[in-house]
Amino acid sequence: MSRPVVEFWFEFASTYSYLSVMRIERAAAAADVDIEWKPFLLGPVFLALGWNDSPFNIYPPKGRYMWRDLERLAEKEGLPFRRPSRFPRNGLLAARVALVGVEEGWVAPFARAVMTANFAEDREIGEEAVIVEILGTLGLPGAEVITRAQADANKLALRCQTERAAELGLFGAPSFRVGEELFWGNDRLEDALAWARRA
């Protein structure tokens, strides 16, 4: 029998996606569940909901709570954290590269490295030079990967995946899907894994 699968929908600019990206492989291995990585863009999803910015920026009290919560949770998980000097950052290129990584099997270490750059090192993950450097540290040919990521077919694939997220009713990241069941938020990761085991 094949192992149960959880779809993991994440965004590189998303604060709580940082926490999930850094811990999902360990948690999934312990639960004996496979992960299907689904990078997407929150910007178009938010626009469809009538927001032209992150709700953490639109609603300052919510934003203040989120940053303090992230500090606490990062400390709990033993993760480094430095509040980004710009939020949200542009995760478009990283998401396109991540789609290539899904196809080639290196999306997990790439995603962790990009999240670390954004939320622990305060680096501009929207800059090609930063992404190329990250790819190089993973032993990957940065320029070649960028070329594949920026190909029209891959751009369309990310657009379609983002549209699919909206069709499925996703409204934030991270989100987890098990069949038709949706779980939203880093604190629902374990629930999603448990549901996959039950299913």
- Let me know: does 12 contact 87? Beta carbons within 8 Å: no
Opening angle at CA 149, ends 144 and 150, nearest 5: 100
Strand partners, 178: 181
pLDDT tens, position by position, 173-182: 999 999 999 9
2 secondary structure, DSSP code: P
Choose, from 2, 14, 17, 20, the residue flagged as catalytic: 14
Q: Each residue of 147-195: pLDDT tens digit? A: 999 999 999 999 999 999 999 999 999 999 999 999 999 999 999 999 9
14 flagged as catalytic? yes
Please report the pLDDT score of residue 55 as a whole number: 86
Domain boundaries, the chain: 5-198
User: Could you tell me the fold of the domain covering 5-198?
Assistant: Glutaredoxin (3.40.30)
d(CA 24, CA 37): 10
pLDDT, residue 1, reads 66
Task: List the one residue out of 136, 96, 101, 130 whose CA is nearest residue 114.
Answer: 130
